[in-house]
Structure 1
Amino acid sequence: MGDSKVLEIPQVTSHNESSDPRLILLLLIKMINKSRGKILGVLALFLVMVWYSIYREDSFYFPVQENNKTTCPLGEVEKKAAQLIGNYTRDHPLFLQLKDYFWVKTPSLYELPYGTKGSEDVLLHLLSITHHSLPESIQSLKCRRCAVVGNGPRLRNSSMGDTINSYDVVIRLNNAPVHGYEQDVGTKTTMRLFYPESAHFDPRAENNPDTLLVLVPFKPSDFQWMEAILNDKKRVRKGFWKQPPLIWDAKPEQVRVLNPYYMEVTAAKLLNLPMKQPRKVKQKPTTGLLAITLALHFCDLVHIAGFGYPDSANKKQTIHYYEQITLKSMAGSEHNVSHEAVAIKRMLELGLVKNLTYF
């Protein structure tokens, strides 16, 4: 930030004094008053004032946490996650698979979205045509460096695209577009978590050819919709708070069904929500917090971008980088965003995740 030789003026003070730029400024003024070379003194004063203004800017700058890719922090996520998530384990599969629903010995304890109790029959039809494995390109990684990309306005004009593309695994949410926002959000999509009402995106245009389309099931009709779409059967129209798409160009081999275990962990362990709630006061985690929870169970490094909602008093600030809806649109949702913000801040404090954008 300038010529280092010119900025050696603080040598006129002691080591302790040199740490205070205000004192340097006062001493320099005294030197100028006694100096015969007033012009040189004024020039020196100008340079110090420039340096001082830069010093002040640096002292208030809150840097984005750096993306350290030189070493792989193997075991660090598990170690820190265990401090936050009771009975933390990586033993549960990420996606549901057909074999687990034949001759089931231990049926799920909960109904959707925290388990599959009562939905086994319709789920069997869906699992018979979809897959459950992670691609070999991810399975074989010695270190899985993951970026979970939220949909928040922090991404707008962020120029984070290249940074996001540099991760091994990029997880995106719902209908967040890539096309037209590449400079800010990147182009790489390893997984996209969605549910039927949020599936209003073109799977081919907004994803890569090998992107995993991960269904987050909230209710039995979600399974029915997905199976009808993939088998080109009569579409399910009832049971949705918003009409899902009736045409959706996706291949069955791309589709995965998220294990409801991760929704249970997000709700019970991170948000302390009861698994059985009265119908009138139900709360559910957002897809964003769920995606972070998922990453904490199979990644060796987890960075997040585009998370955080505006202050509740700010009624005009948009909540997505790609559309103009505000926090008011979430008034009737079953999400408690301030509660979730506390959970994410706790993760940041523990160093469990790192932030690529301001939260």
Structure 2
Amino acid sequence: MLNKSRGKLLGVLALFLVMVWYSIYREDSFYFPVQDNRTSCPLGEVERKAPQLIGNYSRAQPLFLQLRDYFWVKAPSLYELPYGTKGSEDALLRLLSITHYSLPDSIQRLNNAPVQGYEQDVGTRTTLRLFYPESAHFNPRAENNPDTLLVLVPFKPMDFLWMEAILNDKKRVRKGFWKQPPLIWDANPEQVRILNPYYMEVTAAKLLNLPMRQPRKVKQKPTTGLLAITLALHFCDLVHIAGFGYPDSAQGKQSIHYYEQITLKSMAASEHNVSREAVAIRRMLQLGLVKNLTYF
């Protein structure tokens, strides 16, 4: 089933728009110039160029985790979440028994941001929505299409427990989150997928050069935006990005999202290294791996 779906994915020029970060300010160190989106992208172009950026690049890894694979038995994971499943196998096994893993026929657009009220700028179609418990909307239908796949990005073991409790209507998990996730999450289990941590590992180790094992007090993790681009590079032949960039460091109060007031200053206390992410995206543009649709 997976190979069949993968074949469909590679047989089209999939348009993969990632609308995660948005800024109205242009700034030299984080300015990604627009490329002509009319330039053709031959089939397999991304796959041929990706190894220049991603060492040991491979399209063999499944996008979603599957119950039938029992990958931790065949090859036990070396890392804990978010880069592996070490120590979380039991909870994951229960969760995979009630979710699915099939792929859409083509990946057209992905984001983790609202579309209602912003359709003119971000469009109306969302094929995959990456989320984690703290970012989940209690009513997924409000911001998604009926067939949108809701893809859990697991950062910690509690994320599996939260999802299991929600889908099985068990006692809700309330502790272990930096922000209280929804206690009611009205989603169809058939639309839920669990992201393979392999792609978070690739994003961190290959694109950001982050160590997989870090001291607990100084941990750094990729943003879901950069993770989304990593997924696109592994499954699509044409990758367009929009909305990636940051305000000038002097603009500490300028929002970095179009839909909420999170500033660059507030990001300083986060676990994200925005400077490294900007360098990684610039490198993708230089190699022609992605095409940028927006100015900053």
TM-score, normalization by structure 1: 0.71
Secondary structure at the aligned position of 1:297 is classed as helix
Give 1:200 deviation, angstroms: 2.9
How many residue pairs are counted as aligned between the two chains? 265
Rg larger in structure = 1
Query: What letter is aligned with 1:64?
Result: V
Secondary structure at the aligned position of 1:192 is classed as strand
Establish whether residue 349 from structure 1 lines up as the match of residue 286 from structure 2: yes
Partner of 1:231: 168
Give 1:64 deviation, angstroms: 3.3
Higher relative contact order (CA 8 A, sep 6+): 2
Q: Residue 63 and residue 196 in structure 1: after superposition, are their counterparts in 2 closer, same or farther (change >3 A)?
A: closer
Q: Distance in 2 between matches of 1:226 and 1:305?
A: 30
Partner of 2:128: 191
Query: What letter is aligned with 2:46?
Result: V
Partner of 2:258: 321
Establish whether residue 107 from structure 1 lines up as the match of residue 67 from structure 2: no
Misfit runs of 4+, over 6 Å:
none
- Identify unmatched segments of 5+ residues in structure 2: 1-31
Q: Distance in 2 between matches of 1:87 and 1:343?
A: 17
Kept after mapping to 2: 8 A contact 1:101/1:120: no
Q: Distance in 1 between matches of 2:90 and 2:43?
A: 40
1:183-238 Cα deviation digits (max 9, x unpaired): 11110000000100111363101000000101000111100101111111111001
Kept after mapping to 2: 8 A contact 1:229/1:246: yes
Q: Residue 322 and residue 132 in structure 1: after superposition, are their counterparts in 2 closer, same or farther (change >3 A)?
A: same
Secondary structure at the aligned position of 1:197 is classed as helix
Establish whether residue 96 from structure 1 lines up as the match of residue 65 from structure 2: yes
Q: Distance in 2 between matches of 1:95 and 1:239?
A: 24
Give 1:328 deviation, angstroms: 2.0
Partner of 1:45: none
Give 1:103 deviation, angstroms: 8.0
Q: Residue 102 and residue 351 in structure 1: after superposition, are their counterparts in 2 closer, same or farther (change >3 A)?
A: closer
Q: Residue 119 and residue 313 in structure 1: after superposition, are their counterparts in 2 closer, same or farther (change >3 A)?
A: same
Query: What letter is aligned with 2:44?
Result: G
Establish whether residue 273 from structure 1 lines up as the match of residue 210 from structure 2: yes
Secondary structure at the aligned position of 1:301 is classed as coil
Partner of 1:127: 96
Kept after mapping to 2: 8 A contact 1:177/1:201: no
Q: Distance in 1 between matches of 2:41 and 2:270?
A: 39
Establish whether residue 263 from structure 1 lines up as the match of residue 232 from structure 2: no
Partner of 1:171: 110
1:115-134 Cα deviation digits (max 9, x unpaired): 00110000011100100110
- The within-5 A match list for 1:182-221 is 182-200=119-137, 202-221=139-158
Establish whether residue 68 from structure 1 lines up as the match of residue 38 from structure 2: yes
Q: Residue 279 and residue 243 in structure 1: after superposition, are their counterparts in 2 closer, same or farther (change >3 A)?
A: same
**Larger % of helix: which?**
1
Establish whether residue 85 from structure 1 lines up as the match of residue 36 from structure 2: no
Deviates more, 1:97-106 or 1:298-307: 97-106
Cα root mean square deviation, aligned: 1.6
Q: Distance in 2 between matches of 1:325 and 1:115?
A: 29
Give 1:331 deviation, angstroms: 2.1
Secondary structure at the aligned position of 1:204 is classed as helix
Secondary structure at the aligned position of 2:241 is classed as strand
Give 1:63 deviation, angstroms: 7.5
TM-score, normalization by structure 2: 0.86
Q: Distance in 1 between matches of 2:269 and 2:149?
A: 30
